[in-house]
Amino acid sequence: MTLQSITNAFKEFGVDNPVAATPDLRSLMTELQGLRTTLKEGVAQSAAVTIANIQTTDTILGVYQFPILRATQAAVSIVNRTAKTYISAASAIKVTSAATTGSMLLVFWFDASAGTSMLG
């Protein structure tokens, strides 16, 4: 589905004139277009993880560490690193709570520039 077809659907179903301060389908669809995910290799504690296009004005929604299972391990735990992660600069985040070396990081963030005016 293209942005244009979504915009046309708003007009067809009468959701193009939202009541002020009331959540509506148009606002929801606009916001959803700003959701982003990426999977990156872990790094040393407080080292920068490069994430293309993330900006300091964006919002981190979740960061989850997935340790890579080794042959000698019976199990691994997924660790929520969201509270100790921040956007340190354009295209970079840092996890301050622990090293994530030997793991994969699943990062969810809201791209503020994409979720504001794409449905014009």
DSSP characters over the chain: --HHHHHHHHHHTT-SSPPTTS--HHHHHHHHTTEEEEEEE--STT-EEE-TT--TTSEEEEEEEEEPPPTT-S----EE-GGGEEEEETTEEEE-SS--TTEEEEEEEE-TTTTTSTT-
Contact 65, 40 (CB under 8 A): no
Give the pTM.
Answer: 0.70
pLDDT for the residue numbered 67 = 86
pLDDT for the residue numbered 4 = 46
Domain locations in the chain as residue ranges:
1-33, 35-110
pLDDT for the residue numbered 115 = 59
Strand order in the sheet with 85-89: 48-50, 92-95, 85-89
| Ordered per-residue pLDDT tens for the chain, 120 residues | 344 455 555 555 555 555 555 556 767 777 778 899 999 999 999 899 999 999 999 999 999 999 887 767 667 789 999 999 999 999 999 999 889 988 999 999 999 887 554 444
Give the Å distances, CA to CA, from 12 to 2, 4, 5, 16, 29.
Answer: 15, 12, 10, 9, 15
